[in-house]
Chains A and B, each alone.
Chain A
Amino acid sequence: MTFMEFMNANGGIVLAGLGAALAVFMGGWGSALGCGMVGKAAAGIIAEEPEKFGKALILQLLPGTQGLYGFVIGLFICLMRIGGADPISLAQGFYLLFAALPVGIAGLTSAKFQAQVSTAGLQILAKNPSQNTKGIIFAVIVETYAILGLVASIIMVLVTYPA
């Protein structure tokens, strides 16, 4: 069996699997990076003011959603497409691979930058806790692009999928 024959027979499912994996691990990578970064900074505040734990936790959780978004797309590719009734052609496999990229790449990058904003928001929490909400708002704005990535991926996987 030549490589092309193998690809024609199995390429669809291989690429779809790669897409699912990429969506999950890139989102998760970004979120792990982001939550780690904010958590490290938050620990510094909690050492002196333990009562701010709840608010610091929210700031830490903000960059955690990208991993969830990636996971949702991975789940949809697995359950709806790979585990679906129809076989996946090579072209459809490529399509699903690309469909994973919006949530994967937007998640990876936005989580990092959101974490930076969240870390800066911790400064607000430390110095002027009554204005903490504004720090959260700044961080949520970055989230927008992860949501757009998620929605683009959802549309590609579920709505415009070439049957």
Chain B
Amino acid sequence: MAVVKMKKFTLLTFSRLKAKLLKELQKFEDVHFKNLEKDELEAELEKELAFLRRDASEEAESRCEAELFKVNFALARTEPYSTAPKGIKALTTPPRSLGFDEFDAYHEQYDYNAVYERLKAADEAITQARTEISRLRGENDNLRPWLKLDVSPEEFDKGKYTKSVVGTVNRLAWDAFKAGTEESFKEAYLEALGYIKEDAAVLLTVPSEQYDDILAHVKTLGFSRLSLGFKGLPSKLAEANNARIRELEAELEKAQNSMKDLGPEHVNLQIVYDYYETALAREQACRNFLATRDVFMAEGWVPEEEAERFKAIVEGVCGKEYYLAEEEVARDSEDVPIKLKNSKMVSAFEDITMMFSTPKYNEIDPTPLLMPFYMVFFGLMVGDLGYGAILCIATACALKFMHFKPSMRRFLLFFFCCSFTTMLGGVIYGGAFGVTFITPIPTANLADFPSGWKPIMDTQKDVMVMMIVTMALGIIQILFGVAVKGYALLKEGKIFAAVCDSLLWILVLLSGIGMFAMVLPGLPGFLKTLIPAVFVICLVGLALTQGREYPTIVGKVGGGLYGVYGLTGYVGDIISYTRIAALALSGAYIAMSFNIMAGMFPVSVRWLLGTIVFLFGQVLNMGLGFLGAYVHSCRLQYVEYFGKFFEGGGVTFTPLTLKNKYINITK
């Protein structure tokens, strides 16, 4: 239930054993290597180890990466045609399971390169066909205005008595243009063949001897001459293009079909992908080592309880050909990686801790200490029996019937835990989906509660009570945090510091709150003098001790006074907890307003439209509520709670592991 104790090791063995050893350690999944390159080796070691060089094979890494590139390409192309189940079904089907040895040898017996080559050929054929088709279509677009032309352009000048020319005239001016030209030159033949945007595509055929005159004339009327970029009859050309397009489309379909045929390979390619990711991880692990030609040296950490198994693995691979030294890790060590170990439920909340920071090796793992608070805050922020029940059922079903990665399962389990407090919150506020119906408390206030019964905390009438209750929860969490700090200091043997930095604060806070309570009637007389006395004495104590670490007298006095000023920070912290009430209120009122809206439809359509509005509104509010509660519960832990006892800043334990994105590898 804490930060896992680590053992540091130094291992030397022959490089020829490295590949096998790394595979075994990867299966073991509990070794974190130290990067020796970065490390400044101790002075006396430096001379001894100067002949060692960095042990990384860029060649091997890039070979893996090149294979991964191919597999990724093949995966992307086969994905649309994959025969694997999709959607919900994909989640409810267990991932394919493979033993490690089978997994490790799979890429040798499965010819994924052939699949890749076929896919690549098909892909190239598809690209080529598509480019060609779009080029031909573009050509046809250019031909379209001239389809009625029954002379090919190269014949224009070759007529016995006539010459032809093509060009454009604004389509609105066409009639006037035709009439004007025919009036001046009776022999001229004009035809509008089609349209190019705003212009008419015009063929002009005239007697050869009048050619220059007519051309000069029509130019003044707005005719602009075009030279056509094709040879032959446009209609014939277009027909040929269309025939070629049909041919290409057939080719395209063939290529697509051949891709489709490879769809079943998708699931096999996934195994190859996982294999190369796993192999790449091994190659990258070598970056951490130092080596000579025949020997390599690794340093790193294993959890103390796994140290024996680690030794057995090394011995299993290397026989007697190795050197292994193990040493204890100092409590204050900075570079030791941190692994957290908690019970299944608590470990679901580790992500909350890790999102803030990894603890240091000499710190307490705050996860079990934040879990109950987190759950209660979350529950009180959402505070709806209905939302809690939905969350509970949804996460339970997902955990039971679906297959997720461990990180996702942790996340689901986390919400599963919070769903119970959410339901509890719903019971306290007395309702589900914004409707109040759980009213166990008798009340005399018949104006607001006609039945004479009210919820434990009513979101309409007990707003002040909610604020006070949430602040009280805040005080409990803050006192707890300060006490944890005292406990940590005691464990280190710093009794004086524990008294000054923990006990005094707790007493000041308690007596400070006690002074507010002094207005209560029936308080025993001696308390009326005791509480202020404790408050003042502790305050003086804080002023005297909070600056003790400063070297100068001025520093000590100033630090002490500043320490006392820190009390205002506690006031701010406590008020911050009213956000729990604020989120609960906003959620309750938004739910209520959607219910009001749903009820506003006329009776005839209320069932239909009202239900739609109700569902939409409640789902929206539920989403908002969960998101807000998630973030704000985190914030209360990080700022108000962790600030009292937890610093973080450790290195996360990142062991060499199997990289199975798609499949399940059994060891």
Q: What is the distance, in angstroms, from A60's C-beta to the closest C-beta of chain B?
A: 14
Contact flags (1/0) for B609-638 with A, using CB distance below 8 Å? Answer: 000000000001000100110011011000
Tell me, in angstroms, the Cα distance from A82 to B443 when the chains sit together.
29
Number of residue pairs spanning A and B whose beta carbons lie under 8 angstroms apart:
51
Q: Are A144 and B597 in contact (CB under 8 A)?
A: no
Least CB distance, B252 to chain A, in whole angstroms? 23
Instruction: Compute how far the CA of A150 lies from the CA of B585 in the bound complex, rounded to whole angstroms.
Output: 9
CB distance from A159 to the nearest CB of B (A): 6
Choose among A75, A137, A141, A150 the residue that contacts B586 (Cβ–Cβ < 8 A): A150
Do B596 and A75 touch across chains, with their CB atoms under 8 A apart?
yes
B585 in contact with A143 (CB, 8 Å): no
A147 touches B460 (CB 8 A): no
Stretch binding the partner chain, chosen from A11-19, A41-49, A64-72, A117-125 = A64-72
Partner of B593, one of A72, A133, A147, A148: A72
Could you tell me if A147 and B583 are in contact, using CB atoms closer than 8 angstroms?
Answer: yes
Q: Per DSSP, are chain A's interface residues mostly helix, strand or loop, or mixed?
A: helix
Asked if A79 CB lies within 8 Å of chain B CBs, one says yes
What is the distance, in angstroms, from B70's C-beta to the closest C-beta of chain A?
Answer: 21
- Establish whether residues B460 and A144, one from each chain, have CB atoms under 8 Å apart when the complex forms: no
Q: Are B586 and A134 in contact (CB under 8 A)?
A: no
Q: Which residues of the partner chain B approach A75 to less than 8 Å between Cβ atoms?
A: 593, 596-597
Q: Report A-chain residues with C-beta under 8 Å of the C-beta of B631.
A: 136-137, 140-141
A 126-148 binary contact with B (CB < 8 Å = 1; else 0): 00000001101100110110011
Task: Check A155–B635 contact: CB distance below 8 A.
Answer: no
Report B-chain residues with C-beta under 8 Å of the C-beta of A154: 585-586, 589
Confirm or deny: A113 has a beta carbon within 8 angstroms of a beta carbon on chain B: no
Chain B contributes a number of interface residues (CB within 8 A of A) equal to 23
C-alpha spacing A12/B463, complex, angstroms: 26
Q: Is A144's CB under 8 angstroms from B585's CB?
A: no
Q: Which residue of A lies closest to B621 (CB)?
A: A68
Least Cβ–Cβ distance between B458 and chain A, in angstroms: 11
Contact with A along B583-612 (1 / 0, CB 8 A): 101100110010011000000000000000
User: Could you say which residues of chain A place their CB within 8 Å of the CB of B620?
Assistant: 68
Q: Does A158 make an interface contact (CB < 8 A)?
A: yes
Q: Which DSSP category, helix, strand, loop or mixed, fits chain B's interface?
A: helix
Contact B586 A147 (CB under 8 A): yes
How close is A24's CB to chain B, nearest CB, in angstroms? 12
Choose from A76, A134, A147 the contact partner of B628 (Cβ within 8 Å): A147
Give the total of A residues in contact with B, Cβ under 8 Å: 24
Q: How far is the CB of B108 from chain A (nearest CB, A)?
A: 32
Expressed in whole angstroms, the Cα–Cα distance for A140 and B463 within the complex equals 24
Q: What's the minimum C-beta distance from A148 to chain B, rounded to whole angstroms?
A: 6
Q: How far is the CA of A148 from the CA of B631 in the complex (A)?
A: 15
Asked if A158 and B460 sit within 8 Å, CB to CB, the answer is yes
Bound together, the chains give a CA A159 to CA B460 distance in angstroms of: 7
Chain B residues with CB under 8 Å of A137's CB are 631, 634
Q: Looking across the interface, which residue of chain A has its beta carbon closest to that of B596?
A: A79
When distances are taken between beta carbons in the complex, the residues of chain B under 8 Å from A79 are 596
A32 part of interface (Cβ distance < 8 Å): no
Inter-chain contacts of B579 with A (CB < 8 A): 144, 147
A7 on the B face (CB < 8 A): no
The A18-75 residues at the B interface (CB cut-off 8 A) are: 65, 68-69, 71-72, 75
- Residue B582 is within 8 A (CB to CB) of chain A in the complex: yes
With a cutoff of 8 Å between Cβ atoms, the chain A residues found around residue B589 in the complex are 72, 76, 150, 154, 158
Q: Closest chain A residue to B462 by CB distance?
A: A159
Q: Could you tell me the distance in whole angstroms from the C-beta of B80 to the nearest C-beta in chain A?
A: 14
Task: Tell me, in angstroms, the Cα distance from A79 to B595 when the chains sit together.
Answer: 13
- Min CB distance, A58 to chain B, in Å? 8
Query: Which residues does chain A contribute within 8 Å of B461, judged by CB atoms?
Result: 159
Cα distance A144–B631 when bound, in Å? 10
Bound-state CA distance A75–B634 (Å) is 32
B residues 455-473 touching A (CB-CB < 8 Å): 460-461, 463
Q: Please, which residues of chain B bring their CB within 8 A of the CB of A150? A: 586, 589
Report B-chain residues with C-beta under 8 Å of the C-beta of A151: 581-582, 585-586
Is B635 a contact partner of A68 (Cβ separation < 8 A)? no
In the assembled complex, which residues on chain A have CB atoms less than 8 Å from the CB atom of B463?
Answer: 155, 159
Which of A76, A79, A134, A140 is the most central at the interface, judged by chain B CB atoms within 10 Å of its CB? Answer: A140
Alpha-carbon gap, A159 to B467, bound state (A) = 14
- A65 in contact with B624 (CB, 8 Å): yes
B355 at the interface (CB under 8 A from A): yes
Min CB distance, B614 to chain A, in Å? 15
Contact across chains for A147 and B597 when beta carbons are under 8 A apart:
no
CB-nearest residue of chain B to A74? B593
Q: Are B355 and A147 in contact, with the CB atoms below 8 A?
A: no
Q: How far is the CA of A163 from the CA of B99 in the complex (A)?
A: 75
Q: Are A72 and B590 within 8 A (Cβ)?
A: yes
Within 8 A of A (CB), among B420-461: 460-461
B617 to chain A: closest CB distance in Å?
9
State A65–B597 Cα separation when bound (angstroms): 17
B593 touches A141 (CB 8 A): no
Question: Which A residues are CB-close (under 8 A) to B632?
Answer: 140, 144
Rounded to whole angstroms, the CA-CA distance of A76 and B589 in the bound complex is 9
| A141-B635 Cα distance, complex, nearest whole Å | 9
Tell me which residues across on chain A come within 8 A of B628, comparing CB atoms. Answer: 140, 143, 147
Q: What residues of A have a CB within 8 angstroms of the CB of B597 in the complex?
A: 75
Residues of chain B lying within 8 A (CB to CB) of residue A72: 589-590, 593
Q: How far is the CA of A137 from the CA of B630 in the complex (A)?
A: 9
Give complex CA distance A60, B490 in Å. 49
Q: B residues bordering A, Cβ < 8 Å? A: 355, 460-461, 463, 579, 581-583, 585-586, 589-590, 593, 596-597, 620, 624, 627-628, 631-632, 634-635
Which residues in A have some Cβ–Cβ distance to B below 8 Å?
65, 68-69, 71-72, 75-76, 79, 133-134, 136-137, 140-141, 143-144, 147-148, 150-151, 154-155, 158-159
Ordered by A's residue number, 20 sampled pairs between the chains whose C-beta atoms are within 8 Å are A68-B620, A69-B586, A69-B590, A72-B593, A133-B355, A134-B355, A137-B634, A140-B627, A140-B628, A140-B632, A141-B631, A144-B632, A147-B579, A147-B582, A151-B582, A151-B585, A151-B586, A154-B589, A158-B460, A159-B460
Known: A75-B597, A79-B596. 8 other contacts (CB 8 A): A65-B624, A69-B586, A72-B590, A72-B593, A134-B355, A136-B627, A147-B586, A159-B460
